[in-house]
Structure 1
């Protein structure tokens, strides 16, 4: 059991390529005391667009129903690119647990993105555990996050 970073449900979604990993991580979350909001898909054989599921996760964060989200697609790229179109989202595509630390400490990432085609189950669980066990730092990092949220200059 890890120290819980939030009491709200963690929203999770995947495209067809991420369904299996989504199931594994959902089980891990529940086994570690987290409630989970499953935003789809559950069908690994019917092709769907990762963008649609990233938008489901964005909606959960925007409505404050979740503080954190997990998006999974083949490479992770489309989930991250879509989510980061919104100023309140800080989606981070991670490949190692070590990357989780600065993503959370410095960037206060609120969405973990994984590539199901490039991340094995054990690595994904390790990344998730580290992500959820790393608090955001304050001071200059908090000021940077506030500045980031206000970016809309072009």
Structure 2
């Protein structure tokens, strides 16, 4: 199993991304960090697109994007045909995003969840499998 995870954030998610990189490495993941690398103000698409491209190309099976609300990074990521980015603020949403929607990027709202919850959501997302079956038919209808 490929344990490479693509990760990126804007300035609002920088502290969470830093924490998440350390957490994922301690869990045995190889992390491809696409930035940002400081809390200086930046534009979230500049980081959402490279993470999405890494996942879309198969370089990383899954990705994590973090910004203040998670809305901006999710919108940018979902412009990519091969991406199904889900905004998750509970473990249950992360589980359902993987099980039912075969989401391949989780988007975390740093201004609305704790760092401990962010780790729990990421762990759930990264370890849950897609159920397939009736869900596969629906997922196959997502791309235009």
Matched, 1:102 2:96: yes
TM value normalised by structure 2: 0.95
**Structure 1 unpaired stretches of 5+:** 1-5
Q: What's 1:3 paired with?
A: none
Q: CA deviation at 1:62?
A: 2.3
Secondary structure at the counterpart of residue 72 of structure 1: strand
User: Counterparts of 2:118 and 2:127 in 1: how far apart (Å)?
Assistant: 14
Number of aligned residue pairs: 144
User: Counterparts of 1:86 and 1:51 in 2: how far apart (Å)?
Assistant: 12
TM value normalised by structure 1: 0.89
Q: CA deviation at 1:58?
A: 1.3
**Structure 2 unpaired stretches of 5+:** none
Moved over 3 A (4+): none
Matched, 1:125 2:128: no
Secondary structure at the counterpart of residue 101 of structure 2: coil
Alignment RMSD: 1.1
- 1:28, 1:125 within 8 Å by CA — same for their partners in 2? yes
